[in-house]
């Protein structure tokens, strides 16, 4: 898919400088530079500033920034300058910017700000929920500039978790398969999606999930694009698949409903002109793939 890297949270070309993560001799001078910056999150919400129509991720000077409980995570370099992320100290009230739910602004951030915010949210969230060794239960410590946790008791190394998820643009002729999960906003429909199981290929996961959720058999499967999805830590693998039949049999444990929608009706839904169907959130890979299908630019 030619426009694959335009999806939100991807494609900014951030230099993650992974070779520096364990190199304190190089990181120390980088952190001491006047241009070193820090992004802060509170409970997964980044600090955002600027007008509503063009929000920006707040970058604070690393020197003099509020001291968080844990060492900041090194996110990479922007040009010659380093940038880090940290959880805000308890009760901190920012002098600039506001704590903002990332979903609400993700499609209006610049590609670089979106990638930084998503990376920070995912890694800091992992640290918050993985403070103890899964092998022996001892408290683990942060190493590699925030990209690893080491257990001092048994020596096990732990790395940030990312869960692979397939999300499927399933078509048959001029129709697209959409589903609705319980609890979604009224009328919202989206592409079917599900976690990849251990020992399973992407293609097999697409076929299994569509069959389990909607009772539709899928033939040919192809990859389209991916999106890091830090809610809390998934990698969405966007695929297309060709349905072998139109019959639908919904599993009520998985979906509230599923239906075939024509290209023309989907276009009306994106324009807000369909009373029963609401398109997915702008900035999500589901909306990105659906709009690509409407514009006939998937290849």
- The CATH number given to whatever domain includes residue 30 is 3.90.79
Which run of H or E residues covers position 77? Answer: strand 73-78
Percent of residues in the chain assigned helix, strand, coil, to nearest 5? 25, 30, 45
299, part of any domain: no
Q: Are 233 and 167 in contact (CB under 8 A)?
A: no
Task: Tell me, yes or no, whether 46 and 67 share the same domain.
Answer: yes
Tokens of 49: 């500033």
Distance CA 50, CA 81 (A): 22
Q: Which domain holds residue 179?
A: 163-294
Q: Which of 108, 143, 160 is the last residue of a domain?
A: 160
Domain count, the chain: 3
**Is residue 147 in a domain?**
yes
Task: Look at residue 71 in the predicted model and tell me its pLDDT.
Answer: 87
* pLDDT given at position 6: 77
Write down which residue in 111, 141, 160 finishes a domain: 160
Span 9-50, pLDDT tens digits? 977 999 999 999 999 999 999 999 999 999 999 999 999 999
Comparing CA positions, the residue from 214, 191, 192, 188 lying closest to residue 269 is 188
Per-residue pLDDT at 294: 96
Structure tokens at 210: 């569509």
Q: Tell me, what's the pLDDT at 208?
A: 98
In this predicted structure, what is the pLDDT of residue 2? 60
Same domain, 156 and 184: no
Residue 187 covered by a domain:
yes
- Give pLDDT tens digits for 140-179: 999 999 999 999 999 999 999 999 999 999 999 999 999 9
Which residue from 280, 298, 294, 284 is spatially nearest to 107, judged by alpha carbons? 284
DSSP string, 81-121: EEEEEEEPPTT---SSSEE--HHHHTTTS-HHHHHHHHHHH
Q: Which two tokens stand for residue 255?
A: 């979906």
Cβ contacts of 250 within 8 Å, gap of 6 or more: 179, 213, 214, 215, 256, 257, 258
- HSE-CB at 201 with a 13 A cutoff on CA atoms is 6
CA-wise closest residue to 103 among 234, 195, 9, 235: 9
Same domain (yes/no): 40, 99 = yes
119 and 25 within one domain: yes
How many CA atoms lie within 13 Å of 34's alpha carbon, on the beta-carbon side?
0
Residue 264 DSSP symbol: H
**CA 251: distance to chain centroid?**
26
Q: What is the pLDDT along the chain (299 residues), one digit of tens a residue?
A: 666 667 899 779 999 999 999 999 999 999 999 999 999 999 999 999 999 999 999 999 999 777 777 889 999 999 999 999 999 988 888 888 999 999 999 999 999 999 999 999 999 999 999 999 999 999 999 999 999 999 999 999 999 999 999 999 999 999 999 999 998 999 999 999 999 999 999 999 999 999 999 999 999 999 999 999 999 999 999 999 999 999 999 999 999 999 999 999 999 999 999 999 999 999 999 999 999 999 998 87
Name the one residue in this structure whose structure tokens are 């909306």.
287
Shared domain for 46 and 140, answered yes or no, is no
Query: Is the preceding peptide bond at 232 cis, omega within 30 degrees of 0?
Result: yes
- Judged on CB neighbours under 10 Å (0-12, 13-18, 19+), 87 is buried
């Amino acid at each position: 898919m030619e426009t694959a890297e335009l999806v939100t949270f991807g494609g900014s070309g951030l230099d993650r400088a992974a070779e520096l993560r364990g190199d304190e001799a190089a990181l120390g001078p980088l952190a001491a530079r006047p241009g070193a910056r820090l992004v802060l999150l509170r409970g997964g919400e980044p600090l955002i500033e600027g007008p509503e129509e063009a929000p920006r991720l707040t970058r604070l000077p690393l020197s003099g920034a509020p001291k968080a409980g844990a060492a900041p995570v090194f996110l990479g370099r922007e040009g010659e300058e380093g940038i880090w992320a940290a959880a805000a100290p308890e009760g901190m009230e920012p002098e600039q910017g506001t704590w903002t739910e990332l979903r609400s602004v993700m499609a209006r951030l610049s590609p670089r700000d979106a990638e930084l915010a998503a990376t920070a949210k995912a890694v800091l969230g992992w640290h918050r929920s993985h403070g103890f060794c899964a092998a022996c239960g001892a408290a683990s410590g942060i190493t590699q500039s925030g990209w690893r946790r080491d257990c001092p008791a048994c020596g096990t190394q732990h790395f940030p978790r990312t869960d692979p998820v397939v999300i499927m643009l399933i078509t048959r002729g001029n129709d697209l398969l959409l589903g609705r999960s319980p609890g979604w906003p009224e009328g919202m429909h989206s592409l079917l999606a599900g976690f990849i199981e251990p020992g399973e290929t992407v293609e097999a996961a697409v076929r299994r999930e569509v069959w389990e959720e909607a009772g539709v058999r899928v033939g040919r499967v192809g990859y389209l694009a991916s999106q890091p999805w830090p809610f809390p830590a998934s990698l969405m693998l966007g695929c297309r698949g060709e349905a072998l039949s139109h019959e639908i049999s919904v599993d009520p444990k998985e979906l509230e409903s599923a239906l075939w929608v024509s290209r023309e009706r989907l276009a009306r839904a994106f324009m807000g002109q369909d009373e029963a169907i609401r398109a997915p959130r702008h900035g999500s890979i589901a909306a990105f793939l659906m709009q690509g299908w409407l514009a006939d630019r998937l290849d």
